[in-house]
Amino acid sequence: MARHHIPAAVSKTFTRDTLQDGFEYLATMGLPVVLKADGLAAGKGVLICLTLQEAQQELIEMLTHSKFGDASSKVVVEQFLQGIELSVFVLTDGNNYKILPSAKDYKRIGEGDTGLNTGGMGSVSPVPFADAAFIKKVEDRIIIPTIEGLKQENISYKGFIFIGLMNCHGDPYMIEYNCRMGDPETESVLPRIESDLVELLLGVAEGNLNEKELIISDKVAATVVCVAGGYPGEYLKNKAISGMENVRGSHVFQAGTTQKEEDVLATGGRVLAITSLQDNLFDALQQATADASRIYYDGCYFRKDIGFDLI
Ligand code: GLY
């Protein structure tokens, strides 16, 4: 991102050998400041430190006392960005690109965005504050430099680019890239694509995505995820699911399920995603939530506040 002048939080990476440089860098940063374990830490390796002393202590814990094991043998010290997160999805054949609908996901297990992080408890698309002017900024400042940057660095990339962003007072800042779609964003994004997705994917494969049509519905999608009791910790498994036939105005996407003879069992942490497509966000949220409550399995839990912060 730095090489291609893509707006992002400023950051530097440190190891045990450069701990002293890390202290000096921390002293130049505003507060709060973010420390990230550079490796995978089950979603737990990010700390937001409110004071310099706390940040120095945590840097020592991560680098010299292996707070997150090997994952924190390298630590990124990063500027804290204040804003609302959203995700923008791009499909590219390496030269041409299409901007897919934006979405916002809700990662915390508890209502009011509280409790442990999960893979995602729900999503909405479009994101009300991601209007045409905002998406134009994303295109000019992030999408075009990303596609051009990949080309300049001889990285042949065809497929989805997941752009995780922070909207900081109307300006987009990159948080993360993923080379995939998102879950549960996909369940809100794909139902809004009216054109044939297979044609678009063919355009990616054959390098003529510019000749393909992308039609996006004006309707609003809301997705509510039903999870297993106990998730994201140890969770209940092999519980029979009932009531899916009572869902009236939503798609039911199955994820953590297994068919066993006549029964569908809840076997994963995130079991079902319930998506409703309606004329406005309020109706979509109400319908998805009402349909989620028509489904039963022992321990079933879903958030009833997904998206209501945006209304
Ligand atoms: N929902 C976040 C992700 O797919 O990474």
Pick the atom of ligand 1 nearest to 123's CA.
1
Condensed to tens digits (0 to 9), the pLDDT of residues 6-30 reads: 999 999 999 999 999 999 999 999 9
Residues 101 and 194 in one domain: yes
Contact criterion met (CB below 8 Å) for 200 and 117 = no
Q: Looking at the predicted structure, is the pLDDT value of residue 60 above 90?
A: yes
Tokens representing 103 are 């979405």
pLDDT at 41: 82
Neighbour count for residue 56 (Cβ, 10 Å): 16
- Structural domain containing residue 280: 220-310
Ligand 1 centre from 27 Cα, in Å?
32
Pick the atom of ligand 1 nearest to 184's CA.
1
Residue 2 resides in a domain: no
Pick the atom of ligand 1 nearest to 185's CA.
1
Residues 70 and 114 in one domain: no
Residue 204 belongs to a domain with what CATH number? 3.30.470.20
Pocket, ligand 1, Cβ cutoff 6 A: 105, 120, 178, 182-183, 185
What is the pLDDT confidence band of residue 186, given thresholds at 50, 70 and 90? very high
Residues 29 and 94 in one domain: no
Residue 4 resides in a domain: no
Minimal-distance CA residue to ligand 1 atom 4 = 182
Residue 3 resides in a domain: no
Residues 89 and 180 in one domain: yes
Mutation to probe ligand 1, out of 118, 125, 178 (largest number of atoms < 8 A from CB)? 178
Contact criterion met (CB below 8 Å) for 146 and 83 = no
Residues 65 and 114 in one domain: no
Helix (H, G, I), strand (E, B) or coil at 53: helix
What's the helix, strand, coil split of the chain in %, to 5? 30, 30, 40
Nearest-5° angle of CA 101, CA 151, CA 86? 25
Alpha-carbon distance of 62 to 218, in angstroms, equals 47
Domain boundary among 58, 79, 100: 79
pTM as predicted = 0.89
Domain boundary among 211, 228, 244: 211
- CA 191 to chain centroid, in Å, comes to 17
- CA 276 to chain centroid, in Å, comes to 19
Residue 43 resides in a domain: yes
Mutation to probe ligand 1, out of 105, 125, 176 (largest number of atoms < 8 A from CB)? 105
Residue 139 resides in a domain: yes
Residues 264 and 293 in one domain: yes
Residue 18 belongs to a domain with what CATH number? 3.30.1490.20
Ligand 1 centre from 307 Cα, in Å?
16
Percent of the chain with pLDDT over 90: 95
Minimal-distance CA residue to ligand 1 atom 2 = 182
- CA 258 to chain centroid, in Å, comes to 25
DSSP E strands in 149-294: the ranges are: 159-168, 171-178, 220-227, 239-240, 251-254, 257-260, 263-266, 270-278
Minimal-distance CA residue to ligand 1 atom 3 = 182
Q: In the chain, which residue ranges form alpha helices assigned H by DSSP?
A: 19-28, 52-64, 132-138, 144-152, 185-189, 197-206, 281-292
pLDDT at 43: 67
Residues 193 and 74 in one domain: no
Exposure string for 34-44, b = 16+ CB within 10 A, e = fewer: bbbbbeebeee
Ligand 1 centre from 164 Cα, in Å?
9
Condensed to tens digits (0 to 9), the pLDDT of residues 239-265 reads: 999 999 999 999 999 999 999 999 999
Residue 258 belongs to a domain with what CATH number? 3.90.600.10
Ligand 1 centre from 124 Cα, in Å?
13
Shortest CA distance to 105 belongs to which of 120, 83, 88?
120
